[in-house]
Structure 1
């Protein structure tokens, strides 16, 4: 019997959903909304579909095509399977890797995805337990698979989940594969009856569990990043660790063991994986001290001076250090990037003096600090800037490796770090041991991470950042703000100043405009589906405004680069003044529909 709420479009989608969905819980959600005649909510859930982008999906869990649930996972997996069969020669021999985190439904959706692949005759390496996200891209390369899937929403709130896809090179998907998979999903929306059956997945002869073998190989390979095992084994430095209720604890301990360290001091209340994230408002160590309260308490109680924190899927790393005053300095992603970049170059030079800098590369995204570029110019190795996201850095690293180049390090300001190229994505499990070894090496020289950071800036020039965001759920407001900037003083004209600060160059990676380049054509790839404009000011400041691919945010990133001869206080004051003007002149006209600024 057809169900109706007297709206033709919505009615059609309701009945399609009830015909497709075999999960009684999500069917019940839709039926309750029908009973309540909540047409607006039904339209939101059923007449809109999650966009497949940013290397996959990420959304709230619940009933409807705009949410993560059994049906949308089946549809996604069916589309991905058909795309693999169409584009990947030998996929029925090479197979696919599937991993999952500790969030609600992650394991089930990993098994559903495995079942869909197995039904198509595609072999599956399905992890038998929760794993860090970096294990999936690592395994794709290790086993020579055609693809990898990680069911995770990383550091998002507990209500969310996601579906992250890697290609056969071990890097996150980029065009044309993202669009190709998206199209294939739309072409395969009708769920096959067999796609709902997961009881026989674990006994299928085409299924293998790679957990033990992958773990052993990964931690053996991680040892290549260790240069001072003797110091690590005897250090008195104590490290406190939090997994943020995620998957990281046992893997972080094993990473530490592979470097020769004594075990990490755990934040006990956050060690056991818990999809409810009961002790943190947001399970994101990037939030700073507000997310590290229990870590600081644990560290103080155990005479520990360094805190290491992974996000729930352990691909990101936050670092904090106790200062002589007793206060804690929580390093920004840009600061950790400066430390790890300097350390990577220092260690490589000592180990491989025969390899010239012309063969060596480091990478960072366009919204991250330009400190690596400054160091590279001074030390005569190479630096490459990419678009935002590790999918771009991972694929760029692949291209450079094919040319025989050595990629030492890549980072993004959102506490994502890729040390070496064993994992072609951000990896908080290996990065925490690398930064710990730097801390130990510095102790031997009567120094600290904070002092070394100051030394880097003293040597190469100050790089001061001021990054934050506004939350906005109203897409017309977002589009209006960026369109205003593109027609600031008439059609197709960009601002020439921001308050008292003169603008030298404008780069718009939504439209492809860049007046620093010949013909005003941007070099980096452009995307009309996302908003991103960068302003270079006469005073050396670079400011980027962009939308997020996974969250309802308008983000801004600002930095004054390589300032010499000025105090940190004066440079910081100058940057803060510029940010105030950026908000007032470029964002404030639209701020009435924006929720309060972060931080």
Structure 2
């Protein structure tokens, strides 16, 4: 090992006081596995999608007690400076954790760092869904929030997600400022390894649960409830009756928590909405950090992740499946239609939510204008919302990929007195309203259920409604997938070949390229000044618009070792055969394009499993 790496290993042996990782590091150093030592100790984790995410192992590049302590010390220092410079902010933080291995202990390490600087710390006493953290930041007027979770990542991973005082995920320059403070506070403080004692923190679970479900209840459709009366504080009284327009027994609903935290919270939000109970997937109800029944605890993976849910639904003659990921911030939906399961894509779910929310808004505001109403989507999501906006009269805006951008954009719009009705990203992340300015799979599950029940009363499924939307707004065909690649040099080489020093391809799959936007380089050929209107980002992201109106984007993931691609082709075709032809055309064009652009490094990539 070189001298610098030896120093990093020595620092670890000096600072790590957690027995498991300390012994793990000693065994690794004794093995003299230079490549593995370099991987874990040669560089530090960096802030990605609003925080940290990595395998749970010994090493500076991994999630463990020591790196959580360091991250928390830097964050606490930065939050203290922020509150000192803003007199209206209290030095207060809320911390939550999911059901993964080590999550509760990592949360306590974070709490200890803030307590050493005199912060008021709210630490949930039980595992909670991720949307509870941004909601609590707002409700408790905290200066920051922390959620220990790796969301839908494999079981060996964990993460550390940070929310700022505006209740949205952190963005630049805050992330860079926190990273700098972490570097300045690497040595554990005197009490860093001490356990928490009674009185150090406040458990706000009961207060936040009550407030969250009261706020969620106000989102319930006007078709669900009649005779709703509100107290002066805005909470709904108990005099609620399910409207006759929704038949509670028309559709049975199956729900899976995917071995995560969602079950009890979705059960409560269904009760808050006055919805009938659901059928749980018994094998996946209880939180289990081993995720024993799924290869990946990610409902976005489709049929492979939903096999148990489908079997449960079929046993109980259920026509709708709702699935949360392990931290319950995302929602997947499967619909039994014409005897077959249709797993809705994130774009399809987003289109349905948009229709439902416009429908409800108009019911509540008959004859009212929607000029001041916004819906948002990430730039790699379908442009169906934009098409709907052009027809229905609401406003549409797009952001970079990720809810850290969508949430902060929603806050900017609200600050300008606009109403934000809905935000979504194609990776099954949905934000209904603005109670939580982040994706929220708990409230989304209740809204999806009431929407499906409303349609069932008309003998329609969600797929039937999608077909109606395509007939009205045009068929928005999408084809998204990814390649797995653990080698950053291969990824950089692929995107370098696409850019060719600014000489981007003028044809893809034989079709002329109309415009290119390279957000990484701040370039957009469709703009008069060739400057991208979306912020420059550190990861790779390039979008091509072809002369046949095909749009295809290639980007790297901020949380997973993936190269993702997203494509869309809009057609006026309304029949099933016409839509199938568009799907086939899109898939053929994209497959050829991906093969051409990825070919220089195809042997280093692993395609997504169908």
Instruction: Name the TM-score, length of structure 1 as normaliser.
Output: 0.96
Please report how far the alpha carbon of residue 91 of structure 1 lies from its aligned counterpart in structure 2 after TM superposition: 8.5
How many pairs are equivalent? Answer: 586
The answer to whether the 8 A contact 2:90-2:143 is kept is no
Stretches of structure 1 that go unaligned for 5 or more consecutive residues are 1-5
1:524 aligned partner: 534
SS at match of 2:342: strand
How far apart in 2 are the matches of 1:110 and 1:180? 22
- Within the candidate set 579, 585, 602, 1:574 is matched to 585
2:607 aligned partner: 596
Q: Deviations over 1:498-540 (max 9, x none)?
A: 122211000000001101111101101012x210000011111
**Within 5 Å, which residues of 2 pair with 1:94-243?**
94-200=91-197, 202-204=198-200, 207-227=201-221, 228-229=224-225, 230-231=242-243, 234-243=248-257
**Within 5 Å, which residues of 2 pair with 1:325-474?**
326-353=339-366, 355-474=368-487
2:550 aligned partner: 541
How far apart in 1 are the matches of 2:207 and 2:97? 17
Please report how far the alpha carbon of residue 92 of structure 1 lies from its aligned counterpart in structure 2 after TM superposition: 7.8
Inter-CA distance 360–48: structure 2 relative to 1 (3 Å threshold) = same
The answer to whether the 8 A contact 1:92-1:122 is kept is no
Inter-CA distance 83–355: structure 2 relative to 1 (3 Å threshold) = farther
SS at match of 1:196: coil
How far apart in 1 are the matches of 2:347 and 2:489? 32
The answer to whether the 8 A contact 1:245-1:272 is kept is yes
How far apart in 1 are the matches of 2:484 and 2:605? 6
How far apart in 1 are the matches of 2:135 and 2:454? 28
How far apart in 2 are the matches of 1:597 and 1:150? 28
Name the Cα RMSD after superposition.
1.3
Please report how far the alpha carbon of residue 182 of structure 1 lies from its aligned counterpart in structure 2 after TM superposition: 0.8
The answer to whether the 8 A contact 2:509-2:592 is kept is yes
How far apart in 1 are the matches of 2:595 and 2:563? 15
The answer to whether the 8 A contact 1:237-1:304 is kept is yes
How far apart in 2 are the matches of 1:371 and 1:48? 42
The answer to whether the 8 A contact 1:333-1:415 is kept is yes
SS at match of 2:192: helix
Please report how far the alpha carbon of residue 233 of structure 1 lies from its aligned counterpart in structure 2 after TM superposition: 7.0
How far apart in 1 are the matches of 2:116 and 2:366? 52
The answer to whether the 8 A contact 1:84-1:91 is kept is no
Please report how far the alpha carbon of residue 38 of structure 1 lies from its aligned counterpart in structure 2 after TM superposition: 1.3
- Within the candidate set 494, 500, 510, 2:504 is matched to 494
1:560 aligned partner: 569
- Within the candidate set 586, 595, 598, 1:584 is matched to 595
Q: Deviations over 1:230-269 (max 9, x none)?
A: 2457333111000000000000000111111121110001
How far apart in 1 are the matches of 2:247 and 2:585? 45
Q: Deviations over 1:307-352 (max 9, x none)?
A: 000000000000001122x221110101000100111111111112
- Within the candidate set 324, 336, 342, 1:310 is matched to 324
Q: Deviations over 1:187-207 (max 9, x none)?
A: 11111130111242x422xx2
2:50 aligned partner: 55
1:9 aligned partner: 4
The answer to whether the 8 A contact 1:233-1:260 is kept is no
The answer to whether the 8 A contact 2:112-2:196 is kept is no
Greater CA drift, 58-67 or 229-238: 229-238
Please report how far the alpha carbon of residue 301 of structure 1 lies from its aligned counterpart in structure 2 after TM superposition: 0.7
How far apart in 1 are the matches of 2:62 and 2:49? 16
The answer to whether the 8 A contact 1:282-1:291 is kept is yes
How far apart in 1 are the matches of 2:125 and 2:170? 24
Instruction: Name the TM-score, length of structure 2 as normaliser.
Output: 0.94
1:475 aligned partner: 488
Please report how far the alpha carbon of residue 476 of structure 1 lies from its aligned counterpart in structure 2 after TM superposition: 1.3
How far apart in 1 are the matches of 2:18 and 2:87? 34
SS at match of 2:521: coil
Please report how far the alpha carbon of residue 354 of structure 1 lies from its aligned counterpart in structure 2 after TM superposition: 5.5
Greater CA drift, 415-424 or 443-452: 443-452
